[in-house]
Amino acid sequence: MKNYKIAVIPGDGIGIEVMNEGIKVLNTLSKLNKDIAFNFDWYDWGCEYYLKHGKMMDEDGLEKLKKYDAILLGAVGFPGVPDHISLRDLLLKIRQGFNQYINLRPIKLLTAQDCPLKNKKVEDIDMVFVRENTEGEYAGVGGFQREGTKDEVALQTSVFTRKTTEKVMEYAFQLAKSRKKLNKVTSVTKSNALNYSMVFWDRIFKEKSNVYTDIKTESFHVDATSMYMLQRPESFDVVVASNLFGDILTDLGATLQGGLGFAAGANINPEREYPSMFEPVHGSAPEIAGKGLANPIAMIWTAKMMLDFLGHEDLGERIMKSIVEALNNREKLTPDLGGSGTTNEVGDRICKIIENIG
């Protein structure tokens, strides 16, 4: 009997709503499988916590989180709190503090009708982004000069270390090998304009490709990549990208698979020295929060990624099958998918299907 300790940080807005559905699915699975159990500890950290206590999470937050097998996070962000604070003091703090240097974001179409592109089959859109997650453009290095004067200057410095860049590329190549799709890694770059960081990135990508000679490689500028993702999404397998480029392109990718309501994500510390954190790509979407309109599929898929990471791919597979069945059936889906169902109803329906599958 495996008993997992999971830290749950629902966060803000729709993060809270979708988290309930993710937990519901995990509880359903553990009810059906006597050999797996979850102990969930809930943390009310986020923007509301910030407005009450002046901080996004407790000072010893990382110390508290250290003891868990994994962390589930909904979304953070709230109109009254500047985005750079909510991101920096919670999400980035955990990603960086726990050296979760891989951000894994699958982009996979589950039902053809949810794709905004014409005539796409589900197998046409099936790629995984490996996004660098602890440094790069989001390293937080920079400052203001001559602040408050008309000569004011803002500096934001990217930081790419050889150690992390190598490990990110290594992860991408290994993933391409294990996926057995096109056996290909695409590197996203912009070395014509970013003449230090991306030149360095390209150099390390080349070094790794010389090691993995059985894996095909290609390298595109980020602007061209966004075009190719629309023109010929079927040509992508594993895509490796920096923190900023990966962030932007995965929202585009989310659209290809039917919207942010489908976009699951994982912040991974591959060495398992610290817990990894599982978090959908979407934010707290304040304008639809509290109305039961949020699509919980991204969060449920995210829970599946956590199960995979914990070594329960069979259970993860069951979640995916149930999501697909719920989508094909079209009954009571959320408004982003053209339905009139609520967050809660979608979660209930997926749990029902899981129970029926057995």
Q: Which residues bind ligand ATP (CB under 6 A)?
A: 14, 18, 77, 260-261, 282-285, 287-288, 294-295, 298, 336
Query: Between residues 11 and 275, which has the closer beta carbon with respect to ligand ATP?
Result: 11
Q: How far is the CB of 126 from ligand ATP (least distance, A)?
A: 21
Query: Between residues 90 and 298, which has the closer beta carbon with respect to ligand ATP?
Result: 298
Query: Between residues 112 and 248, which has the closer beta carbon with respect to ligand ATP?
Result: 248
> Measuring CA to CA, which residue among 90, 93, 95 is closest to residue 46?
90
- Using DSSP's 3-state secondary structure scheme, residue 11 falls into strand
Q: How far is the CB of 304 from ligand ATP (least distance, A)?
A: 15
Q: How far is the CB of 85 from ligand ATP (least distance, A)?
A: 13
Q: How far is the CB of 210 from ligand ATP (least distance, A)?
A: 36
Q: How far is the CB of 158 from ligand ATP (least distance, A)?
A: 19
Q: How far is the CB of 193 from ligand ATP (least distance, A)?
A: 24
Query: Between residues 84 and 121, which has the closer beta carbon with respect to ligand ATP?
Result: 84
Q: How far is the CB of 22 from ligand ATP (least distance, A)?
A: 11
Q: What angle do CA 60, 64, 70 make, to 5 degrees?
A: 135
What residue number has its CB nearest to ligand ATP?
Answer: 283
Beta bridge partners of 221: 189
Q: How far is the CB of 229 from ligand ATP (least distance, A)?
A: 18
Query: Between residues 285 and 305, which has the closer beta carbon with respect to ligand ATP?
Result: 285
- Contacts of residue 232, defined as CB under 8 A and 6 or more positions apart, other chains included, come to none
Query: Between residues 74 and 233, which has the closer beta carbon with respect to ligand ATP?
Result: 74
* CA–CA gap between residue 87 and residue 46 (Å, rounded): 10
Query: Between residues 194 and 260, which has the closer beta carbon with respect to ligand ATP?
Result: 260
Query: Between residues 282 and 304, which has the closer beta carbon with respect to ligand ATP?
Result: 282
Instruction: Tell me the helices (H) and strands (E) count for the chain, helix number first.
Output: 12, 12
> Measuring CA to CA, which residue among 244, 196, 245 is closest to residue 220?
245
* CA–CA gap between residue 73 and residue 22 (Å, rounded): 10
With beta carbons less than 8 A apart as the criterion, state whether 138 and 243 touch: yes
Query: Do strands 184-189 and 36-42 pair parallel, antiparallel, or not at all (unpaired)?
Result: unpaired
Q: How far is the CB of 253 from ligand ATP (least distance, A)?
A: 13
Tokens of 216: 């095909």
- The gap from C-alpha 109 to its chain's centroid, in whole angstroms, comes to 16
* CA–CA gap between residue 331 and residue 113 (Å, rounded): 14
Q: What angle do CA 85, 88, 90 make, to 5 degrees?
A: 95
Beta bridge partners of 105: 129
Query: Do strands 70-75 and 276-278 pair parallel, antiparallel, or not at all (unpaired)?
Result: parallel
Task: For the beta carbon of residue 84, count every other beta carbon within 10 angstroms.
Answer: 10
Query: Between residues 46 and 316, which has the closer beta carbon with respect to ligand ATP?
Result: 46
Place of tokens 């309501």: 261
Tokens of 263: 């976009």
Cα–Cα separations (whole angstroms), residue 96 to 74, 91, 149: 18, 8, 33
